[in-house]
Amino acid sequence: MIDRQCASSCESLLELLETHPQIITVGENSGGYVHFGNIGMLVLPYSHVLVQLATDFWKFRDGRYLEGTGFAPKLKVEPGKDALEVALDHWRTHRAP
């Protein structure tokens, strides 16, 4: 189950999980903080202002750009609905007898 609070390392896990054929994500789009990371810091010499910059950029093989959009779940949950109930309903209707 994912929502907008899933970001950064959580989204790295989602990237791995989406390759597994039996994983079904349920909920809302993730936070969309996956493309830039590992912050580098420097202090400007005259103003002494601390500047933080992303030192990584992640590029997906399929060309997706998820920054600000996030990973979409396989089962999208409408606002106000319970994601756990959606997941359980899906499991009940798709499990083997």
What are 48-92's pLDDT values in tens digits? Answer: 999 998 888 888 888 999 999 999 999 999 888 999 999 999 999
Residue with tokens 């390392």: 9
Global pTM reads 0.74
* pLDDT of 46 strictly over 80: yes
Enumerate the domain spans of the chain: 9-34+60-94
- Identify whether the C-beta of residue 83 lies closer than 8 Å to the C-beta of residue 1: yes
Please name which of 87, 74, 90 lies closest in space to residue 18, comparing C-alpha atoms.
Answer: 74
* CA–CA separation, 49 and 51 (whole Å): 6
* pLDDT of 38 strictly over 80: no
* CA–CA separation, 1 and 87 (whole Å): 8
